[in-house]
Chain A
Amino acid sequence: GENVEQHPSTLSVQEGDSAVIKCTYSDSASNYFPWYKQELGKGPQLIIDIRSNVGEKKDQRIAVTLNKTAKHFSLHITETQPEDSAVYFCAASTYSNDYKLSFGAGTTVTVRA
């Protein structure tokens, strides 16, 4: 089955700086890669996603890049703000598995004011 590795496990950044989280996946059939933000006591909230026919996608301060050859994808948050502090999970899925998500282990991001 799919195995998703995520790094780093914790990330502390100064407010205004950028944060980068990297994930690798094992199944070359995976074609959908969402990123979720989870705040304490809440469910995962989708923040951005990318499909395998695209190399990069941006939404305001958040961007995701995908390298299908190397089987890795990354989340970039620019101009970080205290409200960006949360746990971020990457995930991968494919149509052949009814899109079941395989999650990374998560990155705890702390934005220092």
Chain B
Amino acid sequence: EPEVTQTPSHQVTQMGQEVILRCVPISNHLYFYWYRQILGQKVEFLVSFYNNEISEKSEIFDDQFSVERPDGSNFTLKIRSTKLEDSAMYFCASAYTDTQYFGPGTRLTVL
């Protein structure tokens, strides 16, 4: 069964450093998403990506964040200058229509 994969599983970085989180969505899917979950809290929408462009983004997704789908298979989330409050689980999801399938997540720890 196809699944969404994410790397790395855990990323530790110093405040102010750039990080890139990587995702391989399910191959025939059209919609791609990033969500985050701060420990013990609900899953929050960050950004959706469709037809090679951002279709919607939340207030959290400010100028420090960017997404790319560079080669038709990978989908990346970049945080340019990490802050302590960026520490969270980041989940990638993909969908053909409305049903989203989530990856296992990347735990980002900013020190």
**Chain A positions near chain B (C-beta within 8 angstroms):** 32, 34, 36, 42-46, 49, 51, 89, 91, 93, 95, 97-106
A32–B44 CA distance with the chains assembled, in angstroms: 17
Q: List 27 A-B contacts (CB under 8 A).
A: A32-B98, A32-B99, A34-B100, A36-B102, A43-B4, A43-B91, A43-B102, A43-B105, A46-B99, A46-B102, A49-B98, A49-B99, A91-B43, A95-B98, A97-B56, A98-B48, A99-B48, A99-B95, A99-B98, A99-B100, A100-B56, A101-B33, A101-B93, A103-B43, A104-B42, A105-B41, A106-B42
Given contacts A97-B56, A98-B50, A101-B35, contact A45 B102 (CB under 8 A): yes
A48 to chain B, nearest CB (A): 11
Size category of the B interface is 20 to 34
**Smallest CB gap from B101: residue in A:** A46
**Smallest CB gap from B105: residue in A:** A43
**Mostly helix, strand, loop or mixed at chain B's interface?**
strand
A42–B93 CA distance with the chains assembled, in angstroms: 13
A101–B103 CA distance with the chains assembled, in angstroms: 15
Instruction: List B residues 61-111 near A (Cβ within 8 Å).
Output: 91, 93, 95, 97-105
Which residues of B lie under 8 Å from residue A45 when comparing CB positions? Answer: 102
Which residues of B lie under 8 Å from residue A104 when comparing CB positions? Answer: 42
Which residues of A lie under 8 Å from residue B98 when comparing CB positions? Answer: 32, 49, 51, 93, 95, 99
Q: With an 8 A cutoff between CB atoms, is B27 at the interface? A: no
A33 to chain B, nearest CB (A): 10
Instruction: Please name the 9 residue pairs, one residue from A and one from B, whose CB atoms are nearest each other, closest first.
Output: A43-B102, A32-B98, A103-B43, A98-B55, A98-B48, A43-B104, A44-B102, A105-B42, A99-B98
A102–B35 CA distance with the chains assembled, in angstroms: 10
Partner of A100, one of B41, B45, B99, B104: B45
